[in-house]
Amino acid sequence: MKSYKGVVFFDLDGTLFDDDKHVSDRNLLALDLLRENDILPVIATGRNEFEIANLIKEGKFDSFITANGSYVVFENKAIDVQEIPISVNKDLVDFASHFNEEVAFYNNVGCAVTGDNQLVTDNYKALRLEKIIDPDFYKENTINFSFVYTPVGEDDHQAKYEEIFGSTLTFYRNNPRGLDVVLKGVSKAGGITSLIQRAGLTGVPTYAFGDGNNDIPMFKKVDNPIAMVNGLSVAKQNAKYITKEDNNHSGIYYELRDLRLI
């Protein structure tokens, strides 16, 4: 196991990714320079592993925290998987049906949605994923993450879901078309704890880049939380640093340089 001088955690959407879901050449260079300086770069995202397979390869990542902390990999080995029980998933689907809302279920290799509507179509198009409709997917596969299609606005039922499932599940609003769902208490911060303990990195300086609500637990866990200048105000309020450039202009590269990590 390699000895590291630091760890840097990266959110993707709105952070390492530009608005076209690409990583700039400068940010890719920053990842290489971190490794040259014995600093471990780690993805920390609400996305699932299969959704970022190209990035994992392009960015040469061997460690990542995906699905809002419910699936953690260190040096290419899964070390923490927070599975949601079938009974809970069934109850969630049944409750969503009262509002004619669909639920998508995920694991590290794939996903499927219980049904189709315009909101579902729009979301898969935005995320550039193939839409697979399979109402039995959650019954036949291990599930660590789901997505409830309840939109922002007058039809937002987040409070109702939390009222019924709040003791079992945590709901994050990171998408105007729906809610990320994981087991109660699961977060990027918990994923960070698992990785640091397994890697023997206790006491090593930690940094995290993020832009949204689900980055707040991660920000509170690391020594040096860094918000993107394009991020939500709540992210900036919980950050020690704010990047000078946004996610479309290699803000991460320049901030790492200013912090003398590269």
DSSP codes of every residue in 81-142: E-PPPHHHHHHHHHHHHTTT--EEEE-SS-EEES---HHHHHHHHHHT----B-TTHHHHS-
Average of pLDDT values for 31-44?
Answer: 97
Q: pLDDT tens digits for 56-105? A: 999 999 999 999 899 999 999 999 999 999 999 999 999 999 999 999 99
Residue 194 CA to residue 133 CA, distance in Å, equals 33
Percent of the chain, pLDDT > 90? 87
Closest CA to 11 of 237, 206, 212, 255: 212
Residue 15 CA to residue 45 CA, distance in Å, equals 10
Average of pLDDT values for 27-41?
Answer: 98
- Greatest Cα pair distance, the chain, in angstroms, is 54
- pLDDT-derived band at 187 (thresholds 50, 70, 90) equals confident
- pLDDT-derived band at 41 (thresholds 50, 70, 90) equals very high
- pLDDT-derived band at 186 (thresholds 50, 70, 90) equals very high
Domain map of the chain by residue range?
Answer: 6-81+186-258, 86-183
Q: What residues have CB less than 8 Å from 10, skipping those under 6 apart?
A: 16, 41, 42, 43, 44, 45, 208, 209, 252
Q: What residues have CB less than 8 Å from 188, skipping those under 6 apart?
A: 9, 44, 65, 68, 69, 214, 215, 217, 218, 221
Residue 89 CA to residue 234 CA, distance in Å, equals 30
Residue 112 CA to residue 18 CA, distance in Å, equals 26
Q: What is the pLDDT of residue 199?
A: 81
Residue 112's Cβ-side half-sphere holds a number of Cα atoms within 13 Å equal to 15
Q: What is the pLDDT of residue 129?
A: 84
Average of pLDDT values for 49-60?
Answer: 95
Q: What is the pLDDT of residue 128?
A: 80
* Contact call for residues 205 and 176 (beta carbons, < 8 A): no
Mean pLDDT of the chain: 95
Average of pLDDT values for 31-55?
Answer: 95
- pLDDT-derived band at 1 (thresholds 50, 70, 90) equals low
Residue 6 CA to residue 125 CA, distance in Å, equals 37
- pLDDT-derived band at 126 (thresholds 50, 70, 90) equals confident
Q: Which CATH architecture has domain 6-81+186-258?
A: 3-Layer(aba) Sandwich (3.40)
Higher pLDDT, 2 or 113: 113
**Which CATH class name applies to 86-183?**
alpha beta
Q: What is the pLDDT of residue 198?
A: 83
Q: pLDDT tens digits for 211-233? A: 988 789 899 999 999 999 999 99
Closest CA to 201 of 65, 64, 5: 5
Residue 179's Cβ-side half-sphere holds a number of Cα atoms within 13 Å equal to 22
- pLDDT-derived band at 32 (thresholds 50, 70, 90) equals very high
